[in-house]
Structure 1
Amino acid sequence: MIRSLWTAATGMEAQQLNMDVIANNLANVNSSGFKKSRADFQDILYQTSKLAGATAAGGGEVPTGIQVGLGSKVAAVQKVFTTGDIRTTNNELDLAIEGEGFFQVTQPDGEVAYSRGGAMKMDSTGRLVTSEGLAIEPEVVIPAGATQISIGSDGIVEVLEDGSNTPTEVGTIELARFSNPAGLKSLGHNLYGETVSSGAPETGIPGENGMGAISQGYLEGSNVSIMEEMVNMIAGQRAYEINSKAIQTADEMLQMANGLIR
């Protein structure tokens, strides 16, 4: 009877973590380029009272055996890298990636991080940077006299300078992709870091060799579906409730057993 108390407790703990994941998804429903997470569950250890295939009385074989599970746990929390909705902003520094790939940015420690958030800005020196002030890699600098910025689907950045009618190329935005993007480490601030599981980044020109194309004047929204998350929340809440009910029932049965000696 005590075993059922601990088994149900593992279910409650797993559903609590599941609810934490869902809450984070909902909190970032309006975060540009955010990718939702999903909790994956699995059963844990089993206690074996009788082995399947063991020799039974009379020389036969036990067909099924007896195994009792000891609960569940969260095996992984996986990032889901489906593309979010693309929305129009008409801002010439807003960029969306249509397909695979990540923008590359340089962190303060010099390490390169990766992002799907394309809300770019210009700093005081004209560099293209993220909302956190991190410069994109390779660096692109917009001249001070630029009156119009054009970013092609292939990442080529051109500007029209004051007094000129001929566009001038000032740089190219390159993208990176990974063989296993779900293995990337979430760093916060819409950034991801390379890990052994993600594999090494493959960089290239947007629109070539499987890389996504860049769309200027658009932003990629989060891929969180409020309806889906609400359904998952209700299912998780009911699972939590039924596990708590199992603990309550096991406690009542123990109470009945204790009452037999009265």
Structure 2
Amino acid sequence: MQALHTAATGMAAQELNVQVISNNIANLRTTGYKKQTAAFQDLIYEHIRRVGAQSSDQGTILPVGIDIGGGVKTVGTPRSMTQGTLSQTGNDLDLAITGEGFFKIQQPDGTFQYTRDGTFQSDNQGRIVTAQGNPVQPTITIPQNASGLTVNAQGQVSVTVPGSTTSQVIGQLGLTRFINKAGLQPVGNNQFTDTPSSGPPQDGIAGSEGFGNMTQGSLEQANVDVVSEMSDLIAAQRAYEMNAKVVGAADQMLQTTSALFR
């Protein structure tokens, strides 16, 4: 019976939907996390009577047809790249982006990854790095015994060095944007890599045309709405239960049919 297979596709789809929602909820407090949603499409149809077909020798056309659907399939888990709220931390090397752009991070193999997580630190060389120790690009080294570290909205890093009473600019942090940022590939550690779908990276300066601004002493929170996620979770659970009931109903019908031939 086709209903068994159709309902099974619905159960599989809702199981994946719950997995996506659970990941969003799990990352509720993950800095710079961007929520995902599950996208579905209906499967191919069996056309028993095609709409518009000729129904008589006189040329009568069928106004409606009989189409039996094959169920549902998952076509993607697109990521929402909307802005998250900013949370003040007071740490000099915590940076948040308001608007477009990603921080560019150099990996040990020389490749680059991109993140909205501005939880930065300085390593034993004074370089501004991520929690994994990978340098933020362009690489900026904070002089030893420097004080008064500031990062303005354009990403200029300034410090006051010993023997001086005025601050001086020691580097410029950049931002990178993409034509289709939803096409970035997540790789964990709050980071993404570019793909043919995202388009090539476009490096620039914060505050310039098309790029957002930086805020020192703040971090961007996940753009996950708890109320919305819980509502979606309940809806997914109910949809799974209804598909399970269809499986049970189809099974009972098959049992009744087989009993008639005994």
Do Structure 1 and Structure 2 share a fold, with TM-score over 0.5? Answer: yes
Equivalent position of 1:96 in the other structure:
96
Residue 233 (1) aligns with residue 233 (2): yes
Q: 1:163 deviation in Å?
A: 2.9
Q: 1:256 deviation in Å?
A: 0.7
CA distance in 2, matches of 1:63, 1:104: 58
Equivalent position of 2:27 in the other structure:
28
Equivalent position of 2:172 in the other structure:
172
Q: 1:58 deviation in Å?
A: 4.6
SS of residue in 2 equivalent to 1:114: strand
CA distance in 2, matches of 1:244, 1:209: 52
CA distance in 1, matches of 2:109, 2:78: 27
CA distance in 2, matches of 1:223, 1:18: 18
Normalising by structure 1, what TM-score? 0.98
Equivalent position of 2:185 in the other structure:
185
SS of residue in 1 equivalent to 2:150: strand
Q: 1:109 deviation in Å?
A: 1.1
SS of residue in 1 equivalent to 2:160: strand
Equivalent position of 2:256 in the other structure:
256
Alignment of 1:91-240 (within 5 A): 91-240=91-240
Equivalent position of 1:243 in the other structure:
243
Q: 1:253 deviation in Å?
A: 0.5
CA distance in 1, matches of 2:155, 2:115: 15
SS of residue in 2 equivalent to 1:246: helix
Q: Name segments (4+ residues, structure 1) moved above 6 Å.
A: none
CA distance in 2, matches of 1:198, 1:261: 59
CA-to-partner distance for each residue in 1:102-155, whole Å, 9 max, x for gaps? 000001111010000001100000000011111001101100121110101000
RMSD: 0.8
- Percent of pairs identical after alignment? 44
SS of residue in 1 equivalent to 2:159: strand
Equivalent position of 2:54 in the other structure:
55
Normalising by structure 2, what TM-score? 0.98
Unaligned runs of 5+ in 1: none
SS of residue in 2 equivalent to 1:96: strand
Unaligned runs of 5+ in 2: none
2:139 is aligned with what amino acid? E
2:18 is aligned with what amino acid? M
CA-to-partner distance for each residue in 1:164-194, whole Å, 9 max, x for gaps? 1111211100000001001000010000000
Structure 2 contact 175–205 (Cα < 8 Å) conserved: yes
CA distance in 2, matches of 1:39, 1:163: 58
Equivalent position of 1:45 in the other structure:
44
CA distance in 2, matches of 1:109, 1:228: 40
SS of residue in 2 equivalent to 1:38: coil
CA distance in 1, matches of 2:162, 2:226: 46
Q: 1:162 deviation in Å?
A: 2.3
Alignment of 1:44-83 (within 5 A): 44-59=43-58, 60-83=60-83
